A and B are shown apart, each in its own frame.
Chain A
Amino acid sequence: MLKALRTIAGIGIVSEPAPEPDETLRLREVLQAEILASLGRALCIRQVDAGSCNGCELEIHALNNPIYNIEGLGIRFVASPRHADLLLVTGPVSWHMAVALRRTYDATPDPKLVVAVGDCGCTGGIFGAGYATAGPVSAVIPVDVAVPGCPPSPERLLQAILTAISPAVRGAQAAER
C-alpha cells in the first residue's frame, strides 16, 4: 500500500484544463434554459454504443483518465439511463440496436440531451445505411450536438459535451461558420 501511496504522491496532479465549448458542433437548441437551470454544470452521462466499431469507446474511456479528468468537471458516467441527463451515443446505429437505443432514450427523464459521437454517429460513416444499419444516430432519436472524427479525440468529445450544456451562442458567432 505504501508503494501505491508513494506512486500517487510522486506523480501528483496531471489533469489538464478543459477546452472551451464549440458552437459549430451544435445541431439544435431546445430545452437549453430548462436544462441549465436544473443541472448547472453537474451532469450525468449514459453512454450507448449503438453499433460502433469500438474506436469511439476507446476515446470515451480516456475522458475518465486523470489527464482529462471529466469527473473533476462535475460530469460522470452513470449505469442507467434513468439517472442520466445526457446520452452519449456512438454509431452507426445498427438495426439490431435501434429498439434498445429508442428505449434507452425513452427511459431517460426529460429534459434530456443527446450527443452523437464520431463520423458514424454523425453520418453513418464508412458503413452508411443499409440492410443492417440505420446510419446516423439522428435517424433513430433527436440529436442536439454531433461531434465528428474517427474517432474524435477526448478533447473534441469534451468540447461537444460542454457545448451541449452551455447556453447556445446565437447571432454573430454562429453566423461566422
Chain B
Amino acid sequence: MALQRRWEKAAALAGRRAGGLLHVGPAEWVDAAADVAASGGQLLALWGTLYPESVPAAAVRAALFVDGGLLVLELAVADPAQPYRGLHEVFPAAARMQRAVTDLTGIRSDAADQRPWLRHAAWRADEWPLAAPTAVPRVAVPAADDYPFVRVAGDGVHEVPVGPVHAGIIEPGHFRLSIVGEKVLRLEQRLGYAHKGIERRFTELPILEGHRLAARICGDSAVAFAWAYCQALEGLCGATAPPRAVWLRGVYLEIERLQNHLGDLGALGNDAGFAFGLSQFSRLKEELLRSVQQVFGQRYLLDAVVPGGVAADADDEAAGLLAARLGQLAAAVRALRAIYDDHAGVRDRFAGAGTVLPELARRLGLTGLAGRASGQPADLRIDSSWPPYHVLTPKRCLRRDGDVAARVAVRFDEVEESCRLARALLSELPGGALRAPLAAPDPGPPAVGVIEGWRGPVLVALESRERGRIHRCHAHDPSWQNWPVLEHAVIGNIVPDFPLINKSFNLAYSGHDL
C-alpha cells in the first residue's frame, strides 16, 4: 500500500520513531496527505521555512499524525512567489496555517482565500518577518486595518462585532457574529492581535535557552510547549532526559491539565449562571497552586522543564504531600460534579449547546479535549505512549455528544484521571539525576517534539543550521485546528450562549497568534 511504502521510506530516511522526515515532490505532497486522510490520519501542523542564499530557497512542511506515529512531509519550494499546492482541500484546518505561512515568509499556496491571517497593519504585504535580516523599530502606532469580513445579507440580518478588547479577563481577538433575532447565522473570527513575533524572536536566542520563550508562547500550556521544545532539542542532540526528569515532566503536565480544567469548570458554571461553581473551583485551583508552589517553588510551572531534564525536584516527603493533596482534590471534584449534575439550570444550559457531531469533527480535524468530546479518540498519551506514559496506561476520556455538556464531562473525567496519573508518577519517582548535560546540536534537518497538552497536541519543530543558533522554530497549538470548528459550533445557537460555547472550547489566542 502506498502509505506503507511512504512510511518505510520515511523510516529509512530518518531512522527515528518520532518524526520521520519525508521529502516529496509537488504531486506526492497532496497524494501523501490524501493517503493519510483516507486512513484516518490528521494534519498536526503546517509551516514554512526560508533558506536564504540556498537552493531550494524555501520549504513547506506538514506534520501528519497517523497510526500512532508522526510523519513529516517536506516540499521544497524553488521560488516562494510561485504558489505551491495547498492541503486545504484534504485538511480544511490547513487553510489558516497556509495564510500564516504567507504572512511570515511570503511562501504562497494556491488557495482561493489569500487574505492575510496573522498580519494586520504592523508590517506590509511585501515584508516577511522571517525573511528580513533586522527588525525595523517602529515609533508610531500603526493604524487599524480594514479586514474584508464575509458579509451576510438578508431581511433582519445584522452584525455584532466583539473584541479585540473583550468584556472579561480574556485574551484579545475579534468575533464578527451575523445574527437574525437571537440566532447566530454565522461567526467569523479574526485573530492575530496577540502576534508577538515569537518565531522571529526564537532566531535571536541561543538554542539552549529557547525553552524559556517556548514556555511563554501560551502561558496556560507552558509545560506542554517547553516539553515539546526540549523534546525536539533532545532529538537534535540525540540525548534523552534521565528517568527522574521524565517522571517529573509527566507530573508537571498533569498538574497543568488540572489547573486549566479546574479553572474552566468553574468558569463554565459561572457562564451558566451558577456562581457557586466559580467560587468552589477557583478555591480548589488556588489550593492546588499553593501546593505546587510549596513543592516545586512555582505556582505555574513556567521554568520547570529545561533542556536535558527538569529544574524543579520533589523530595520523598514533598512528593507524598502532593500525592495526598491530589487525592483530596479528586474527592472534592467528585462532590462538585454531583452538584453540577443535580442542577437543572446548569444541565439545561450545557446540554445541546454548541454541538459538533463526530462526523463534522472528523472532517474538520477537531482535536484534543474538544475532539474527544465529539467522538475523536486521539490522545497522544495513549496512542503514541511516549515516556513516562508508556508505563501508565492512561484512560481515554471519550464522549460523542459534542456539546458543552460533553466538553464539561470530558474535563471532569480527565481531572479524575490526571489526579490518578500524577499520583502514580509521584509514588514511583525513580532516583538519579534531574538533568543530562546537553551541548548545542550539530546543524542538520529539523526535529519535532509533540506533547499532548491539556488542549490537545502541541508541536514544536526546531532546526539549527549554525551551531548553537536557531534557524527556525515553529510552534503549533491545537487551537489552530479547533478555532475554525468553533465557527461551526455556534451556528443556530442564540447569541447569549456564545460566551458559554466559546469557554467550553477555551482556545488559545497567544498560542495561536505567536
Residues of A in contact with B (beta carbons under 8 Å apart): 1, 3-4, 7-8, 11, 14, 47-62, 64-68, 77, 79-81, 92, 94-102, 104, 125-134, 140, 150-151, 153
Q: Which residues of B contact A140 (CB under 8 A)?
A: 141
Q: Can you list 22 A-B pairs with a CB-CB distance of less than 8 A?
A: A4-B339, A7-B280, A51-B195, A53-B219, A55-B302, A57-B219, A58-B259, A58-B263, A59-B299, A64-B282, A65-B286, A66-B282, A79-B167, A96-B121, A99-B142, A100-B164, A100-B193, A101-B165, A131-B129, A131-B132, A131-B135, A150-B302
Q: Which residues of A contact B135 (CB under 8 A)?
A: 130-131
At the interface with chain A, which of B21-29, B209-217, B385-393? Answer: B209-217
| A139 CB, min distance to chain B CBs, angstroms | 9
Q: Which residues of B contact A52 (CB under 8 A)?
A: 171, 194, 219, 510
Given A54-B509, A98-B142, A127-B197, decide whether A132 and B169 contact each other with a Cβ distance below 8 A: no
| A127 CB, min distance to chain B CBs, angstroms | 5
Q: Which of B179-198 contact A (CB under 8 A)?
A: 192-198
| B252 CB, min distance to chain A CBs, angstroms | 15
Docked Cα-Cα span, A151 to B283, in Å, equals 19
Docked Cα-Cα span, A129 to B135, in Å, equals 9
Q: Does B431 reach chain A (CB closer than 8 Å)?
A: no
Q: Which residues of A contact B511 (CB under 8 A)?
A: 54
| B165 adjacent to A100 (CB under 8 Å) | yes
| A132 adjacent to B167 (CB under 8 Å) | no
Q: Does B254 reach chain A (CB closer than 8 Å)?
A: no
Given A96-B122, A126-B213, decide whether A54 and B219 contact each other with a Cβ distance below 8 A: yes
Docked Cα-Cα span, A70 to B329, in Å, equals 24
| B122 adjacent to A132 (CB under 8 Å) | yes
Docked Cα-Cα span, A130 to B197, in Å, equals 8
| B141 adjacent to A95 (CB under 8 Å) | yes
| B293 CB, min distance to chain A CBs, angstroms | 9
Q: Which residues of A contact B192 (CB under 8 A)?
A: 96
Among residues of B, the one whose C-beta sits closest to the C-beta of A81 is B165
Main secondary structure of the interface of A (DSSP, over half): mixed
Q: Which residues of A contact B153 (CB under 8 A)?
A: none
Q: Which residues of A contact B237 (CB under 8 A)?
A: none
| B335 adjacent to A7 (CB under 8 Å) | yes
Given A11-B283, A127-B198, A132-B195, decide whether A50 and B212 contact each other with a Cβ distance below 8 A: no
| B168 adjacent to A49 (CB under 8 Å) | no
Q: Which residues of B contact A55 (CB under 8 A)?
A: 216, 219-220, 222, 300, 302
* Interface core residue of B121, B143, B144, B164 (most chain A CB under 10 Å): B164
| A126 adjacent to B212 (CB under 8 Å) | yes
Q: Does B138 reach chain A (CB closer than 8 Å)?
A: yes
Q: Does B279 reach chain A (CB closer than 8 Å)?
A: yes
| B282 adjacent to A65 (CB under 8 Å) | yes
| B180 CB, min distance to chain A CBs, angstroms | 25
| B510 adjacent to A132 (CB under 8 Å) | no
| B269 CB, min distance to chain A CBs, angstroms | 10
Q: Does B137 reach chain A (CB closer than 8 Å)?
A: yes
Among residues of B, the one whose C-beta sits closest to the C-beta of A5 is B276
Q: Which residues of B contact A126 (CB under 8 A)?
A: 201, 212-213, 216
Additional A-B contacts beyond A55-B222, A100-B165 (8; CB < 8 A):
A58-B300, A65-B279, A65-B285, A67-B286, A97-B194, A98-B142, A126-B201, A150-B216
Q: Which residues of B contact A99 (CB under 8 A)?
A: 141-144
* Interface core residue of B129, B194, B278, B510 (most chain A CB under 10 Å): B194
Docked Cα-Cα span, A95 to B195, in Å, equals 8
Docked Cα-Cα span, A73 to B171, in Å, equals 25
Q: Which residues of A contact B193 (CB under 8 A)?
A: 51, 94, 96-97, 100
